[in-house]
A and B are shown apart, each in its own frame.
Chain A
Amino acid sequence: MNNSIIEIKSLRKDYHVGEVTVHALRGVDLKIHEGEFVAIMGASGSGKSTMLNILGCLDKPTYGDYLLDGVNVNTMNNDALARFRNKKLGFVFQSYNLLARTTALENVELPLFYNPNVRSRERKESALRALEAVGLSDRMHHMPNQLSGGQQQRVAIARSLVNDPVLILADEPTGNLDTRTSFEIMELFQDLNDKGRTIVYVTHETDIARFATRNVTFRDGKIQRESNVSERLDAREILKTMPVEAIEEFD
């Protein structure tokens, strides 16, 4: 449990907008260990999105070091970063970002297409396993528009799992979903975390953040507060107490 997946030291990120320099991150130190379930919080403009982009290796810090799984990301060029993302990371987005008119299975397979070492049969098997893990193996031939929002997000989570990443990054994963479905997604995340997945997600809802084991709050480009969640919520228990509404089903 003490293996650190993320190690960030005095990290800064500046943007140049015209002649103005925006200091998006002003010295961040953060360590996230294997098996942790971290919620990043903060108001808009606090730097949490910039943080997530850097964590996701989509952007590079201006100063400071970022070690992901023991590798310093700063030294890599764009192609190497792409390879690194493909092997180490899984992404979940607020708006799912599934390919339209493409079956759930094919959507989940997508990251493996960019890994030249994965053969076609392996790819399919991994995708099926990932869909099974999110409980959607019976929907594998459905197109995104035949799935509910919650189901689409599950497909997206399956896609983030398919390459067996060291870290799953989720950007407001419940932002487009109703309360019950949000809890279902958090239930899935908690399940995955129990099985040892390291997950980092961004949210601005405090109750969604309480499903994590640790909260990191950003303000003005710095970490304002870092705390272990004292009364952690269990999504499964909460769902049991919630009245079962007519669950939307698409077939």
Chain B
Amino acid sequence: MNYTNLFRIAIRALIRNKLRAFLTMLGIIIGVASVIAMLAIGEGSKQKIRGQISSMGTNMVMVMPNMQRRGGVSLGSSSSMVLKYSDVQSLRNEATALSAVSPEVMASGQVIYSNQNTQTTIYGVSEEYLEIKKLEVLSGRFFNTNEIKDMSKVCILGQTVVTNLFGAGADPVGLSIRIKNLPFLIIGVLKDKGESGMGQDQDDLILAPYTTVQRRLAAIDYINGIFASAVSEEKSPTAIAEVEEILRRTHKLKESAENDFRVMSQTELLKTVTSITDIMTYLLGAIAGISLLVGGIGIMNIMFVSVTERTREIGLRMSIGGRGKDIMKQFLAESIILSILGGIMGVLFGYLLARLAGSLMTSHAIVKTQSVVLAFIVCFIIGVFFGWYPARKAANLNPIDALRYE
């Protein structure tokens, strides 16, 4: 029996029992649809988080002071004062894998405009900060080198601060606000950036020259951190190694001493978060896979019923020349067709489900080609695996007994 004939016979047998064929497929349809939808939702949220992290900055490399311990007591990372502006200078001069370096000095406090006030963080940075953090000036301008050198009392506001002090959509450039009782001139407003991947408001900030924040607001001689950009994503690991090497040297650390600073890169952060979402995705997919397995067992169940019910048909087919293997192939073909057809419908249904879930969760659900291909392979295997035993039962029937079966 050639395969076209086999296919025709199987299709005809299925068409004779349309409703039952559909109900059998339903298990596979639901199974495949849930796997596809779950993987799509997982992939969607992964890409969303990825997007948020990469919007935090351009191939960012962050240097923070390491938590120091004295007598076993942690002093907290902000308590350490190991990072100096000179470190920024060394990195600028020596690191080849870094394209931009900016110090970061933090101060938090009350900000007042006429009768409005708000609590926010003031970041003291240099001009490179804009590029490193992917920030854009919406109106006005950023401060320049002279203003850094002069410790000018100028500042740039984030959108949340603008909203809190002046109302949404206002343009306060040229006005003056008081930060910790010092008057600052607003020279620019940042474009809004939204929430970060961790749910942080990235617009609740004020930027000012680091010299101004260091001396006038925080009154310290160290800096809280260094933000830099690696020249490319691939160069991130090189950049980290360079930073470590340079800072260990400038900090005059002994061979045996631990780093008194921590270097992290955006790429690393991305990897960590991605691996977490991957685990989530596989977990969801595995749970959905169980329903696919149940669907497969459903196919086996129905194929068994079908073999028993069609015993006389099998007897007839054998008497007119069907060999055991022909009968076996027919029933296998039926179960494979059922599971593959179920797979196709399941993929379509799963795609719709993913779109629906995506629109409800405000993140896109992304159906990857791999998961579709995987679904089909799994369906084929299910068809063969769960069709095998019933098909063998059919093939081993004795034609004489089968013909007499009532």
Contacts and interface: CB of A to CB of B under 8 A. Distances in A.
**Main DSSP-derived SS at the B contact region:** helix
Interface residues of B, number: 25
B16 A85 contact: no
Interface stretch (B257-265, B318-326, B369-377): B318-326
B321 A85 contact: yes
A82 B321 contact: yes
A79 B325 contact: yes
Given A79-B323, A102-B16, A114-B326, A58 B399 contact: yes
A83 B2 CA distance: 14
B320 A85 contact: yes
Given A99-B313, A102-B12, A83 B325 contact: no
A97 B320 CA distance: 11
Nearest to A59: B400
B200 interface: no
A86 B317 CA distance: 10
Contacts, number: 69
Nearest to A90: B320
Interface string B386-406: 000000000000011001000
A113 B400 contact: no
Given A58-B399, A93-B403, A99-B313, A116 B319 contact: no
Given A83-B323, A116-B2, A97 B400 contact: no
Interface in A93-147: 93, 97, 99-102, 106, 110-111, 113-116, 120
Contact of B324 (A78, A93, A120): A78
A159 interface: yes
Contact of A114 (B16, B312, B320, B400): B320
Given A53-B400, A58-B399, A102-B16, A86 B321 contact: yes
Interface string A41-63: 00000000000010010110000
A102 B321 CA distance: 19
A116 B5 CA distance: 8
Nearest to A91: B319
B146 interface: no
B1 interface: yes
Interface in B1-21: 1-2, 4-5, 8-9, 12, 16
A97 B399 CA distance: 13
B316 interface: yes
Contacts of A58: 318-319, 399-400
A115 B400 contact: no
Q: Closest 6 interchain pairs by CB?
A: A86-B321, A114-B321, A82-B323, A111-B320, A101-B16, A97-B316
16 contacts: A53-B400, A79-B323, A82-B322, A82-B323, A82-B326, A83-B323, A85-B320, A97-B403, A110-B316, A113-B5, A114-B317, A114-B321, A114-B322, A159-B320, A163-B320, A163-B321
Interface of A: 53, 56, 58-59, 78-79, 82-83, 85-87, 91, 93, 97, 99-102, 106, 110-111, 113-116, 120, 159, 163
